[in-house]
Amino acid sequence: MIQPIDYFLLCWFVLAGLSTAYVAYDQFVNNPEPTVMKWGFILVTLYMGPLGLLLYVLADKEPRPGEHEQFTAPLWKQGVGSTIHCVAGDATGIILAAAVTALLGLPMWLDLIIEYLAGFAFGLFIFQSLFMKRMMGGTYLENVRKTFFPELISMNAMMAGMAPVMSLLMMGRDMRAMEPTELLFWGVMSLGVIAGFALAYPFNIWLVAAGIKHGLMTQRQPGTKFHLVQEVPVLWQVAHGEGHHGHTSHAQEKERGMPAHAGHVKQHGDHGDGHNMQRTATVAQVAALSGVTALMLLVGIIGPWFKVNLSLSAHDVGGVIMPPGMIMDFDTPAEAMREMSAVHPRQVSYTAPVDARGDLELQPRIEQGVKVFDIDASVVRWHILDDVYMDAYAFNRQIPGPRLRVTEGDHVRINFRNGLPESTTVHWHGLVLPNEMDGPAEITQEPVKPGSSYTYEFTVTQAGTFFYHSHDHPDRQQGLGLYGALIIEPREPATQPSADLDVTIQLQEWLKREWLTYPAMLMEGALPNFFTINGKAYPSTDVIQMTVGQTVKLRFIGSNNNFIHPMHIHGGPFEVVALDGETLLQQARYLADTVNVGPGQRYDVIWTARRPGKWLLHCHIPHHTTNNNMETNGGGGLTMIIDVAE
């Protein structure tokens, strides 16, 4: 249950189950309907839920003993019965085919064709020609021939309603609708059947009125409680001149304005007279309806091609969920959909405590003079605020990943294991190292598959502020939390400016909508609505405690993917002492109160606490200092407090 719609669907299917149970009980215990129609109402109620129950009660449920024929006589009710019979057979074939084709991973356009053929075949050869054979009379092949065009018209209309519902919703934002293992798949099937029923209903009314299809019928077998004898109220029989067996002639039906065989009473041993129905339809009328419904079917199948990519299959998209507002069209590839999709909550392997912090320094172990670090990637649930969490990708179950601190000249080995549901790599941003250790997937190394490992090993030849991040689909993976600081101390400490405190500031942008976390991107529907410093949004960000006269080195790291963040400090200017890991010469250093930190950039600045008080450190784009467009305690997002005491 990961989306609000899931709770609605759960309630809907509970109601559908209860409705189906009631219809099944009442049909077999209290209603004199032929068996095939009993099962028709049961199946349609299973597919349409409470709407199926409503149709049964309004159109077919015998109100009082002996009144079924009279109650079901109106043409609109006969049309309901005809449509029920059509939908029960056709929809069963369609739904079974949809489940099979989805499991096989067939493209959606082929899926629709197979569903149509399966629905038509199931309706014609089983529900019409086989199950109705005893009632219709004649041979099985004769029944196939006689019911072909009525079934074609009805099936075309129903599929014309179902096809666009299935195409647009299955290939819509929430593609769990393509997976038979998901409630949403069956919800789309249910809605599709409802749409198909609504579109097929007026055509079935005409087919019944023209004597081409049966509507509702009555079956009163001797020896059952439904068999009418003279002692039973004869309101309907006497009023219309019926005999003791309650058999209504076609002439009587016509005089009453009833369609042929409306409310027809089937007695025990009656082998059917379906082929003797009074057909009033002309060949031209049947041909016209066949052509019109075929055109409707083509529109229903082809129309969605202009909105969604019907060349994709359930296997291609993998049940992903797109961010609200993302523009998707008929040529959006599956890879783009997977790249933009939400982190599936079922993939979360660890839930961090609400107060958990990222950027914790990872201590190496020494093996034959080599500093060895072990890091892994996994899916975690991470709180950026006490009441706001992200389902994210993380190194060592923290965001940002652990801080790796080494010294210029160290030989390091990083053992990496991939616990993500997708491949990934690690890139060491800004470092001079062997090409095969650089990390770009498909360029310098094969992607590290889920469950696999890779070892990065190199000698550090630089000093300064660096960071590491994913370089396999980094717009998704880095945006979801795969980054961490790499601090390289100089071999000669005096060569770099120092301060009393040393604080790393890693920036990030997040997108959280409708309970799900998406990778924030600079495109429609994917713009971020949360922002963090070191994995937390204000007021959950850390507070820097200082006293007047102290200095702090702030290492700004553009570990974010999208925006340039003008990072500003109140209370006086700071000195810019390093850029992108390179220490500036004394004469090149300068004073500023704002630096524009772009993705991938690093600034080292030294700020002096001049006066006591709470001084803001924040991004100077006001929207980036809000949480989902709201301020909390005077700010949000990319905001920190420097608390200076006397």
- 136-140, 168-172, 370-374 — which one is most confidently predicted on average? 370-374
Q: How far apart, in whole angstroms, are the C-alpha atoms of residue 313 and residue 586?
A: 61
Scanning the structure block, which residue is given the tokens 């949809």?
98
- Count CB-CB contacts under 10 A for residue 547: 12
Average pLDDT value for residue range 290-313? 95
CATH of 365-645, one of 2.60.40.420, 2.40.50.140, 3.40.50.2000, 3.40.50.300: 2.60.40.420
pLDDT reading at 174 higher than 90: yes
Say if residues 503 and 523 touch (Cβ distance below 8 Å): no
Percent helix, strand and coil across the chain, each rounded to 5?
35, 25, 40
Each domain of the chain, given as residue ranges in start order, spans 4-316, 365-645
pLDDT (tens digit per residue) in 219-266: 888 878 888 764 444 333 333 333 333 333 343 343 333 444 444 444
> 320 near 342, Cβ under 8 Å?
yes
Instruction: Tell me the pLDDT tens digit for each residue of 238-247.
Output: 333 333 333 3
pTM attached to this predicted model: 0.86
pLDDT tens-place string over residues 520-539: 999 888 999 999 999 999 99
The mean per-residue pLDDT over the stretch 321-338 comes to 91
Separation of alpha carbons 315 and 107, rounded Å: 9
The predicted-structure confidence for 370-414, as pLDDT tens digits, reads as follows: 999 999 999 999 999 999 999 999 999 999 999 999 999 999 999
Mean pLDDT of 611-632: 97
Rounded Cα distance between 330 and 312, Å, is: 10
To the nearest whole number, what is the mean pLDDT of the chain? 90
User: Mutual orientation of helices 183-209 and 4-30 as an angle, nearest 10°?
Assistant: 40
User: 232-242 as b/e, with b when 16 or more CB fall inside 10 Å?
Assistant: eebebbeebeb
How many percent of the chain have pLDDT more than 70?
A: 91
* Burial (0-12, 13-18, 19+ Cβ within 10 Å), 212: buried
- pLDDT tens, position by position, 100-120: 999 999 999 999 999 999 999
pLDDT tens for 426-455 read 999 999 999 999 999 999 999 999 999 999
Asked if 418 and 391 count as a contact pair (C-beta separation under 8 A), the reply is no
Cα–Cα distance between 322 and 313 in angstroms, integer?
16
pLDDT of residue 231: 41
What is residue 219's predicted lDDT score, i.e. its pLDDT?
A: 86
CA distance 56 to 44: 10
**Among 5-19, 127-141, 377-391, the least confident range:** 127-141
Which tens digits make up the pLDDT trace of 504-513?
Answer: 999 999 999 9
CB-based burial, 492-522: b 16+ in 10 Å, e otherwise: eeeebbebebebbbbbbbbbbbeebbbbbbe
- How do 516-518 and 590-592 pair as beta strands? unpaired
Mean pLDDT value across residues 571-590: 97
pLDDT at 230: 46
Dist. CA 469–CA 156, nearest whole Å:
54
- The Cα-based distances of 627 to 36, 206, 392, 520, 540 in angstroms read 59, 59, 17, 14, 11
Question: Both tokens of residue 51?
Answer: 């709407």
pLDDT per residue as tens digits for the range 536-562: 999 999 999 999 999 999 999 999 999
| Three-class SS state of 216 | coil
Q: Are 41 and 84 in contact (CB under 8 A)?
A: yes
Residue 155 to residues 19, 41, 90, 149, 227, Cα–Cα distance (Å): 25, 17, 7, 10, 35
> How far apart (Å, rounded) are the C-alpha atoms in residues 161 and 86?
14
CB 555 within 8 A of CB 549: no
CA-closest candidate to residue 335, choices 358, 318, 359: 318
Of the pLDDT bands very low, low, confident and very high (cuts 50, 70, 90), residue 133 is: low
Q: Are 597 and 533 in contact (CB under 8 A)?
A: no
Residue 591 CB burial class (10 angstroms; 0-12, 13-18, ≥19): exposed
Cβ(199)–Cβ(192) below 8 Å: no
Q: Say which DSSP state 495 is in.
A: G
Contact 196, 158 (CB under 8 A): yes
Q: 143 pLDDT exceeds 80?
A: no
Candidate from 73-82, 248-257, 403-412, 465-474 with smallest mean pLDDT: 248-257
Percentage, residues of the chain above pLDDT 90: 81
Structure-token pair, residue 125? 């050869």
pLDDT in tens, 183-200: 999 999 999 999 999 999
Query: How many angstroms separate the CA atoms of 332 and 401, rounded?
Result: 33
The pLDDT-based confidence of 137 (bands split at 50, 70, 90) is low
